[in-house]
Amino acid sequence: MNVKIWGAAAVAFVAMTGAAQAEVLRVTGEFPARFREASLLHSLSINRFDGQDGIALANAIERAMGRTHFEMLGGRAGRQHADASLSGAVTTDVQETPFRKKEKRCTEKNKDGKCIKEEEVEVRCRRRAVSIRADLRMVDNDSGRVVYSESKPFREELSWCEGQNASRSVEDTVTAGIQHIANDVRFDIAPSVQTYDIRVRESTKGLSKEAAKRFKDLVKLTKRDARGACAGWNQMQAEAQGHPSLTFNLGLCAEQRGDYDGALALYRRASQSGAAEGGEGADRALRLIAGRDDARVRERRN
């Protein structure tokens, strides 16, 4: 599934094999935060983050949140008036150790500088491991309830040998790790609006020759007129009721127009009739329903 996360928080891509070459429907929907109770709060204050890189992580989380969900409040007033407070501690560890390994090296070159002899030699190398662990806690300031408590690890290991340089510095690695953790926290406690492509089902096994031709023509139509293709598949229900590809594609059409309950029912029927993609579609529809329901709760609270 090709996924784009719109907003200042992050951009992520999840590749679906063959989607770029195959016919797809593009869908936009809101998915719930991993910790739904935390996401229902309106405003957030980033409180104290202990550790050498604590301030860096606090700032990275604030940037990752952007303006897409929480009202971010700062300073003393922010801590007093925010619906929730996020605090934490960060530990960073860097270890560098020497080691030796054998590899082929050129030991003789001709007058043109071309290698004419290679031998296996022992070379001196170094290995660097950078580890970051962030322990985070989010509290509902009205009730005192802990609505989010997670430990986020990050580790990167790299090595290089004599004649080479490390692919990136300790500082760059720590910066990347802090950003990785901040982005992960964003998806833990805030919903995300995603635009993604789902491949339509193309199998016509079990359809009559005439119905199969019409079905394939509608598959091709998705490239220029997704609504027209969906209308055509809907008209085919009388003659191909229960066909797994037709049922799945109708589920995808329902998902595209925001009818997530209808999509869920169709995906489940498609799965029961032999479309393996139906199970994944049903799981996605359930998440979209949760995202829709959470958005309604937040709207009522505001």
**pLDDT tens track for 223-255:** 999 999 999 999 999 889 899 999 999 999 999
Residue 119 is predicted with a pLDDT of: 86
Q: How confident is the model at residue 69 (pLDDT cuts 50, 70, 90)?
A: confident
- The pairing of strands 84-109 and 43-50 is parallel
**pLDDT tens track for 14-67:** 333 334 457 999 999 999 999 999 999 999 999 999 999 999 999 999 999 977
Query: What does the block give as tokens for 130?
Result: 């950078």
The last residue of one of the domains, among 190, 216, 231, is 190
**pLDDT tens track for 147-182:** 999 999 999 999 999 888 999 999 999 999 999 999
Rounded Cα gap, residues 247 and 253, in angstroms: 10
**Residues 40 and 186 reside in one and the same domain:** yes
Phi, psi of 200, rounded to the nearest 5 degrees: -75, 155
Average pLDDT over residues 280-288: 98
Quick check: pTM over 0.95? no
- Rounded to 10 degrees, what is the CA torsion of 50, 52, 54, 60? 180
Range of the domain at 253: 202-301
Residue 15 is predicted with a pLDDT of: 35
**Residues 62 and 126 reside in one and the same domain:** yes
In this structure, which long-range contacts are made by residues 113-117, counting pairs with CB atoms below 8 Å and at least 24 apart in sequence? none
What percentage of the chain has pLDDT greater than the value 70?
92
The conformation of residue 51, written as its DSSP 8-state character, comes to S
126 and 168 in contact (C-beta within 8 Å)?
no
Residue 226 is predicted with a pLDDT of: 95
Residue 26 is predicted with a pLDDT of: 96
For residue 153, is it within any domain?
Answer: yes
**Residues 214 and 289 reside in one and the same domain:** yes
Average pLDDT over residues 260-287: 97
CATH number of the domain enclosing 294 = 1.25.40.10
Count Cβ atoms below 10 Å from residue 228 Cβ, excluding itself: 12
Query: What does the block give as tokens for 192?
Result: 């995300």
Rounded Cα gap, residues 81 and 26, in angstroms: 40
For residue 229, is it within any domain?
Answer: yes
Q: Which residue has the higher pLDDT, 164 or 130?
A: 130
Rounded Cα gap, residues 288 and 27, in angstroms: 11
**Residues 42 and 119 reside in one and the same domain:** yes
Our count of domains for the chain comes to 2
